[in-house]
Copies of this chain bind each other. A is one copy, B any other.
Amino acid sequence: MRLVCWRCGFQTEYRPGLYTCESCGEPLLVDGDFRESLRREGTLIPQELRTVTLGEGKTPLIKSREGIYLKLEYLNPTGSFKDRGAATAVSEALCRGCKLIIEDSSGNAGISYSAYAGRAGIRARIYVPYDAPPGKKNMLRALGAEVVEAPTRDEAARLAVNDQEGCYVGHRINPYFLEGMKDLPLELVKELDDVDYVVSPLASGTLLIGLWKGYRELVEVGMVKHVPKLVAVQACGYESLAKYYKPYMSVCRSKAQLPDGIRLTDAPRLQHMAEILRESEGLYVVVDDELVLPYLRELWREGVVAEPTSAYGYAVARELVKDGSISGRIVVILTGNGIKHVSGGMIL
């Protein structure tokens, strides 16, 4: 297993704890022998990163009444696509002897990391802003994580990075977390020929970059002709990608409240995300709660219990189909489970 920098071309053999490029500072990517893994075991994920599992992946793909394919990533073990990345990142942490992993998050990533640390028999310490949703803090504690509250989200990140007691596994820069996403496109390719568009919400970009990396490897082995056009969706007030890529459409009347998974103002891999959209001839779209809410309701009325963040992707797919911007075979990745939102009192 090697590590490479997409930006400056830096390369190195795997080194425990090295996440960012020693030459330009960009978060690295794994360069593993996916041909061998695929041939022998039907996965693109390197063998070293598959020691810890809770049954993630192989999520259902169903077709909505409107003809859009829905990949139900909310049916992963703790309710989000992040489980794929936590499985591989915790496998790597376990391999290099970590007894305590450290992450900053109050959402799905922290919950995934806590569950997989528990599964691996090691400890997890999660730094969260003090005003994180109580339901999510309950989940972290029930999963056995040590929860440390910080005054702000940014301060939680700073404290986590500087905590020297354990292994920092921050999913936004961790190359091994990203690697776990690659079987998602593999599953899509097996179930569906010739996908034209894949639509997903965008924050730290692990899903977008993971999709792209998986598809690129599938192109290399000849299982698919080209990477589908990727459509990245952000929420009004949190358009971090706009610095690097021009929105194809923007409907932004008020700052988003609903999609807790993408209410982030920055991410380390933004330049790479923009590059990937350019390469795939993809689209970047910004929308707001007002546009999305009826589509969230539409999903639930069809029995699809996705979280608000996921509805951002679905809403954009429906709108772009309606106005003729996209057509053909369209897959929306439904990233997280909405049961906790609705059980907790959200009215749809």
Contacts and interface: CB of A to CB of B under 8 A. Distances in A.
Interface in A67-82: 72, 75-79
Contacts of A58: 58, 60
Nearest to A115: B303
A55 B65 contact: no
A287 interface: no
Contacts of A138: 342-343, 345-347
Nearest to A75: B75
A136 interface: yes
A61 interface: yes
B303 A136 contact: no
A136 B136 CA distance: 18
Contacts of A134: 345
Interface in A35-65: 53-56, 58-62, 65
Interface stretch (A2-10, A139-147, A165-173, A194-202): A139-147
A118 interface: yes
Contacts of A339: 78-79, 139, 337, 339-340, 343
A303 B58 CA distance: 18
A305 B340 contact: no
A101 to B, nearest CB: 13
Contact of A340 (B61, B144, B340, B347): B340
Interface in A194-222: none
Interface string A95-115: 000000000000000000011
A75 B55 contact: yes
A134 B77 CA distance: 25
A25 interface: no
Contact of A343 (B53, B60, B136, B303): B136
A75 B54 CA distance: 11
A328 interface: no
A339 B336 CA distance: 12
Interface string A270-307: 00000000000000000000000000010011111100
